[in-house]
């Protein structure tokens, strides 16, 4: 295993989803390498690995490529079980998982994107705006963003109220009343952290510290915990694109090849050619290949890197991803 645990994280610094993984790795003190990516397509490094998935981050461990932060965090919990941040009790795991679904799928992130400030300089960049429209499947014109803001503010105020008046209401420091931040905190905090730190996103009169003191104190504690962990965490290795591609394509697979669930309702078979893609965002970009494994949690496709031409295993979660056969070809 390489000094960076064979992990290469592809991301850009201001991605709120990437922060979920960076925070996790920092809090755990897990050594890793990173390959910084442009915020808009094309991302030639990822394309060179034969991966069509367009969202950030993705994480490689050896020649296994993991897409979507839900799956990435799950894999890190499994690969590094000692000191894992996930809950052990079933009732606490339930809240941990529900918070992840709420923030990602339950409307919090969607409403957060509608609070992008219309005066943000990036909205003057036609390339970036077009990229966001491809990513989200809706208009990012300034007029449309301005029109959607009042409704988004109303929803976001309700989300803030929920956290302030229920989860943090008893004065606890962390979501599961733990000694330090847990996976439940990472699952809950990221959209609130993003918006509070995005200048102009939230009207101060409705979202100030005096209205939500517990949330702001939670954000401050979390930032301090990450900062303190960073001081003792291993230094992050930054790889250039060519270095990352060479490293990954010369590595071994991190996981043994799995099997296809014979009881899965999709009725697919191992070796069948399939395509898989997210259906909530980034849905115009589909990965395809031979079906290596299919479980309740993930689908694994075998594709081939464009550089080095070695097999790569691309992992997608099942949640909000669609899988369908291509023709009828099998091995």
Which element (helix H / strand E) includes 145? helix 142-162
pLDDT at 329: 46
Cis peptide bond upstream of 57, omega within 30? yes
Q: How high is the pLDDT of residue 2? A: 64
Q: Give alpha helix (H) positions in the chain.
A: 16-28, 44-48, 69-79, 90-105, 108-113, 126-136, 142-162, 183-196, 204-207, 213-232, 241-250
| CA dist., res. 299 & res. 283, Å (int) | 16
Average pLDDT, the chain: 96
pLDDT in tens, the chain (331 residues): 467 899 999 999 999 999 999 999 999 999 999 999 999 999 999 999 999 999 999 999 999 999 999 999 999 999 999 999 999 999 999 999 999 999 999 999 999 999 999 999 989 999 999 999 999 999 999 999 999 999 999 999 999 999 999 999 999 999 999 999 999 999 999 999 999 999 999 999 999 999 999 999 999 999 999 999 999 999 999 999 999 999 999 999 999 999 999 999 999 999 999 999 999 999 999 999 999 999 999 999 999 999 999 999 999 999 999 999 997 544 4
Distance from C-alpha of 305 to C-alpha of 311, rounded to nearest angstrom = 6
What pLDDT is attached to residue 175? Answer: 98
Residue-wise pLDDT tens digits, 66-82: 999 999 999 999 999 99
Cα distance between residue 284 and residue 322, in whole Å: 12
For 205, phi then psi, to 5°, come to: -65, -25
DSSP 271: T
- Least Cα distance to 274 among 230, 329, 317 occurs for 329
Of 279, 297, 300, 296, give the one whose Cα is nearest residue 288: 300
- For residue 111, which of 57, 148, 142 has the smallest C-alpha distance? 148
Residue 192's nearest CA partner among 169, 166, 223 is 223
Digit-coded pLDDT (tens) for 30-45: 999 999 999 999 999 9
For the chain, helix, strand, coil in percent to 5 are 40, 15, 40
Quote the pLDDT of residue 327. Answer: 78
The answer to whether 22 touches 11, Cβ cutoff 8 Å, is yes
Which of 233, 277, 327, 292 is closest to 55 using CA atoms? 277
């Amino acid at each position: 295993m390489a000094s960076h645990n064979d992990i290469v994280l592809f991301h850009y610094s201001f991605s709120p989803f990437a922060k979920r993984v960076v925070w996790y790795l920092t809090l755990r003190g897990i050594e890793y390498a990173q390959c910084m990516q442009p915020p808009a397509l094309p991302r030639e490094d990822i394309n060179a690995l034969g991966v069509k998935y367009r969202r950030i981050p993705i994480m490689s461990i050896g020649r296994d490529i993991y897409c979507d932060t839900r799956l990435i965090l799950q894999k890190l919990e499994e690969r590094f079980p000692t000191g894992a941040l996930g809950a052990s009790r079933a009732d606490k795991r339930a809240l941990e998982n529900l918070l992840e679904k709420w923030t990602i799928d339950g409307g919090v992130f969607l409403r957060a994107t509608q609070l992008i400030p219309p005066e943000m300089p990036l909205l003057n960049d036609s390339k970036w705006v077009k990229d966001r429209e491809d990513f989200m499947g809706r208009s990012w014109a300034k007029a449309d963003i301005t029109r959607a803001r009042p409704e988004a503010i109303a929803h976001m105020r309700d989300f803030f109220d929920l956290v302030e008046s229920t989860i943090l209401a008893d004065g606890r420091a962390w979501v599961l009343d733990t000694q330090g931040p847990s996976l439940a905190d990472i699952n809950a905090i990221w959209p609130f952290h993003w918006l509070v730190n995005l200048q102009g996103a939230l009207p101060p009169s409705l979202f100030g510290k005096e209205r939500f003191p517990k949330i702001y104190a939670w954000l401050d504690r979390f930032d301090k915990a990450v900062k303190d962990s960073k001081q003792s965490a291993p230094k992050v290795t930054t790889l250039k694109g060519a270095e990352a591609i060479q490293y990954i394509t010369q590595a071994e697979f991190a996981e043994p090849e799995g099997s296809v669930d014979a009881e899965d309702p999709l009725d697919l078979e191992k070796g069948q050619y399939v395509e898989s893609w997210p259906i909530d965002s980034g849905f115009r970009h589909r990965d395809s290949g031979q079906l290596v494994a299919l479980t309740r949690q993930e689908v694994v496709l075998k594709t081939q890197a464009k550089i080095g031409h070695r097999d790569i295993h691309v992992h997608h979660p099942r949640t909000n991803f669609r899988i369908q056969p291509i023709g009828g070809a099998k091995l």
